[in-house]
Amino acid sequence: MRGDFVETLPEVFDERIVGLRSGFVVGGVSVQLAGDRRADVALVPSLEPFRVETAVSDINVKVEWVDDLPQSRQSQLFDSGSVWRLYESGSGFQFDFSVPMLGEQPYKRLLVDSRFRRATLQMNQECFVGFPQAAAPLEYPLDELLIMHRLTQEKAIELHGVGIVGPDGASNLFVGHSGAGKSTTAQLWTSLHNVEILSDDRIIVREDRVLEEKLRKDATQIFMYGTPWHGEAAFALPQRAPLQRIFILEHGRGNVLTRLTRSQMVAELFARSFVPFHRHEYVDSALSFLERVADSVPCYRYSFEPDERAVDRILHFND
């Protein structure tokens, strides 16, 4: 079956054709599911807080069941080393998902156009015989893969970080590799102050248009968004906040803040980003957007000790 047939799918689902629908929004990207069964459009628990009702979406996914899914003969672009593989398919892409428990064939296959707007998700009927409870169409990591790839078409990026709106209203993003102290930072702030944690592991940063009341015209601003893909502290809010400062977390002594140059900031953030590397244009787009962020938001390296002094240092910090 050709992957480019998804180009014929409607951008707005026709209720006369598709009876059941559901939708959600993550990082300013709206996704709509359509299918014939209630289970086809059910959202996994992590996506429930992000549920919305909308007629028009950025990404439309039609769920359908097939008798089987033979192994792909397409050109492989990427192997995650675990659940999914990516192939080039016609004018778009094909994602195959496999686990030994469900057999040798892919248990589901996503066929999507090159701009990640319209897709068909094929569920392998044969794989789910005896495992009906395992048939969750948009379970992780497919939900994140859809959003992450769609962000390549917009002025946005997903970062490994914890987003905190502090008691003073300041919106700070603490970015770090695994083990750098993101969940520790989230737990410290919540134990000491009344704050909002948008996520303690993955944040989407994007440029959005806002209305400047004084000038009565549109302007652009950098926002950070919560995501469903949380870390150990399990914070995940479907909200956004204007991004004021970014801190690159690392363990150290003395709670030392060091201002980064533009090039240093871009390099540090890119190293902690989720960018599909199978297309050079995706990498170029990510770097270009990070340069825009660097021109708008100050960034610091934060060598911190995990106690309340680390929180106080940020609360009393003046650029």
Give the pLDDT confidence score for residue 102 in this predicted structure.
Answer: 86
130 pLDDT tier (thresholds 50, 70, 90):
confident
55 vs 299, residue with greater confidence: 299
What are the residue ranges of CATH 3.40.50 in the chain? 155-315
pLDDT over threshold 70, residue 306: yes
Give the pLDDT confidence score for residue 90 in this predicted structure.
Answer: 83
Give the pLDDT confidence score for residue 54 in this predicted structure.
Answer: 78
pLDDT over threshold 70, residue 9: no
Domain 155-315's class? Answer: alpha beta
pLDDT over threshold 90, residue 16: no
Give the pLDDT confidence score for residue 6 in this predicted structure.
Answer: 40
Mean pLDDT of 47-55: 92
Burial of 90 (0-12, 13-18, 19+ CB in 10 A): middle
pTM summary value: 0.90
- Cβ contact 21:30 at 8 Å: no
Strands 59-66, 29-35: pairing kind? parallel
Give the pLDDT confidence score for residue 8 in this predicted structure.
Answer: 38
Give the pLDDT confidence score for residue 31 in this predicted structure.
Answer: 97
pLDDT over threshold 50, residue 166: yes
Q: Which of 132-136, 144-148, 189-193, 221-225 has the lowest mean pLDDT?
A: 132-136
- Alpha-carbon distance 313 to 185, whole Å? 13
pLDDT over threshold 90, residue 291: yes
Give the pLDDT confidence score for residue 267 in this predicted structure.
Answer: 98
Q: What angle do CA 221, 227, 233 make, to 5 degrees?
A: 120
- The number of CA neighbours under 13 Å toward the Cβ of 305 is 9
pLDDT tens across 65-96, in order? 999 999 998 899 999 999 999 999 888 999 99
Give the pLDDT confidence score for residue 132 in this predicted structure.
Answer: 65
Give the pLDDT confidence score for residue 197 in this predicted structure.
Answer: 97
> Among residues of the chain, what percentage have pLDDT more than 90?
79
Mean pLDDT of 6-12: 42
- Alpha-carbon distance 23 to 27, whole Å? 14
Give the pLDDT confidence score for residue 10 in this predicted structure.
Answer: 41
